[in-house]
Structure 1
């Protein structure tokens, strides 16, 4: 059994559902310490974060990952225990196999091999892990660590995120940026009453409907060469008491913008509020910015290194995408860091019977090590 497969199996066995790290990071810190890395545990609240570095000076390349996983759902619908990793038909099955304990294992093995071959490499190479990537708020994970880096003057130049980026085969797609995510919790107030006497009530559903139609029809921007146009979606709409003879007194809508570098969060907020005010609603909205959009432009050193590694080792020129949801790269990029995401096929992430190809898993350390060599050897 290969080193990376053995390590991935060890990590998957640990029931590290957000924010519980279940000992993953301490185990990895012991390994990296033996390889000469300086390891620091940054624990905030219930969240564990591991910061490990090798070398000194600059430039600095880091690998970014998470040890937490999403819940399994009903265990009886899995073909095998999600926390008992199983090899079947050339694949490793288990929660976190693809998202992203396989990548974490590959990062660690790649870093061990790189510093063993290049003990006097230029600059620094590092690993940042969190146990709060899959959570709803991400307050004490990489977001908090990034603030710590600002406060302490930590300098990072390049970051490779191990998120499962590939579509059909390893290295066929990399993420060179991500859209921003802006959410709002909107409350529209009406007057509760009997449905038989609508003149004595004010239905917030009816009042909000024209505003919602206008919001949904808006062209927020045209996007640009790197990003599609900004999208607006309502993910939840709730009102009523459950009775069919009561006009509700309030309506709550959860809205979200996935926006490009063609828009700014403050402009999206302002335009939304202008529309709500124009329709004469009695409303209040609480905004939450999950992350700004970021882009590593063509010609960036880490982007070019990742592309070259995929071409050389996978025999493919990767698609360079800014699609998908968000990742912890959104917290690192604002530090002035070039960020690229490269990881295994994402077809089964968060699903029952999550798995990763053993061949891909065993090739991934070579990809990550190649990136290290191109930038720091």
Structure 2
């Protein structure tokens, strides 16, 4: 059956400008790290992407090794593009990254020119695209000169294989140096993608200030702290959770103190008329320097709940104070 996107998809869709560029992004973007691989249900993934677009989500975030097995999220997304979005490509912001392990041997990970440019070509083939909108260096690689890593981004930009370039998980010094190298080459640093959540606030220690100074946007990932900031852990650690399986989340971090804090945050969310997940995502967007928050979705219903976080995205001083009071138990 043919699918046609909602003609009203932009009627109430908010957007935020990404740094000092001309690019606008939705405040909540769809991340395809989980739930879009070969081991997941394609029909569900396709339905989630369609629904996201119908609700004004135009930014889809990928990386070369997303999905199980690696590369399968890009392949599946490419198939969704082919089936449903061929006439809508210019409405989409599609991003990918390279830096973490992708294939065996010394050229299958890191920050070398050889790896980054080969990976981008592979990503484009998997998705059936001529270019991505943003290509990221997925992580700093200390044993590779930063000039080489950033030089590869410049090359991709000049080839037209990436309209913009970004970095992910760089510290303040690395970010400023990357921006300096790019500036010398006449290429702007569009965006930095760091982790950010109520439970990980490291970017508040200088990175947001640095991004504002150089005019780059900030697209944050893991706003739900790998599921900790949902109702999943309110009663302890479920048997099928990521923590129980030590999958992306170490069970040892889930202390009684942390669970108490999460329950207190859940109560604050309840008084706001939100789920904990909705409040956690809205909280990451309270600072205007955060352009977008990347969230995944296992089902269409979960996606809708996530996007409904924008129905109450402002916080009173009293609410922020209560949140800070709850989080204070984790300090020291």
Q: Report the TM-score when normalising by structure 2.
A: 0.26
- Which structure dedicates a bigger proportion of its chain to strand? 1
Bigger Rg over Cα: 1
- Which structure dedicates a bigger proportion of its chain to helix? 2
Q: Report the TM-score when normalising by structure 1.
A: 0.24
